[in-house]
């Protein structure tokens, strides 16, 4: 299975890229993780933000192969603890389809992305800096995989 993180944003700080790559590297091929960056729309003082979010959403949807299981990272999604998320990852692995995780820009995901998603995941009630979400998701994927395989990384 391949997990594709489709995320609005490019030119991330080096620590974001390094953090994402560290956890992506740790995951085995059976649960590979790759990043697909979507260039954000130009946000100027008088920009039509709703149109920008819809355009970003269109480009995100174009990056998703038709047979992927799509999961939106969204404030309205389900919040899982580590054990629950490990079960979710196990279900994704057993399903056999590749997964696309959608991470919107500063204003979130377009309605078309939310509609395409079969699941919605809320990381936390806390607000995180947008670049940090990439690292948190990658780490949580590795942690869930570790828990499934009795790897010592996860210690409750």
Q: Helices 130-148 and 82-95, interaxial angle, to 10°?
A: 80
135-153 in b/e burial notation, b at 16+ Cβ within 10 A? bbbbbbbbbbbbbeeeeee
- Element at 74 (helix H, strand E): strand 69-78
Instruction: Tell whether residue 147 is among the known ligand binding residues.
Output: no
Instruction: Tell whether residue 109 is among the known ligand binding residues.
Output: no
Instruction: Tell whether residue 108 is among the known ligand binding residues.
Output: no
| C-alpha angle 36-42-48 in degrees, rounded to nearest 5 | 115
In the 8-state DSSP scheme, what is residue 154? -
Instruction: Tell whether residue 101 is among the known ligand binding residues.
Output: no
CA–CA separation, 136 and 134 (whole Å) = 6
Instruction: Tell whether residue 75 is among the known ligand binding residues.
Output: no
Instruction: Tell whether residue 124 is among the known ligand binding residues.
Output: yes
Instruction: Tell whether residue 35 is among the known ligand binding residues.
Output: no
Look-up of token digits 């008088």: 46
Instruction: Tell whether residue 73 is among the known ligand binding residues.
Output: yes
Annotated binding-site residue numbers: 73, 104, 123-128
Annotated binding-site residue numbers for S-adenosyl-L-methionine: 73, 104, 123-128
């Amino acid at each position: 299975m391949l997990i594709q993180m489709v995320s609005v944003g490019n030119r991330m700080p080096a620590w974001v890229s390094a953090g994402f790559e560290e956890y992506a590297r740790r995951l085995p091929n059976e649960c590979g993780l790759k990043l697909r960056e979507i260039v954000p729309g130009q946000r100027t003082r008088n920009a039509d933000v709703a149109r920008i979010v819809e355009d970003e959403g269109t480009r995100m949807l174009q990056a998703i192969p038709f047979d992927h299981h799509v999961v939106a990272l969204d404030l309205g999604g389900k919040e899982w603890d580590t054990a629950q998320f490990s079960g979710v990852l196990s279900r994704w692995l057993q399903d056999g389809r590749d997964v696309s995780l959608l991470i919107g820009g500063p204003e979130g995901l377009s309605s078309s992305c939310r509609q395409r998603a079969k699941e919605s995941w809320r990381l936390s009630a806390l607000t995180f800096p947008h670049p940090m979400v990439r690292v948190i998701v990658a780490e949580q994927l590795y942690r869930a995989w570790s828990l499934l395989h009795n790897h010592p990384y996860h210690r409750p």
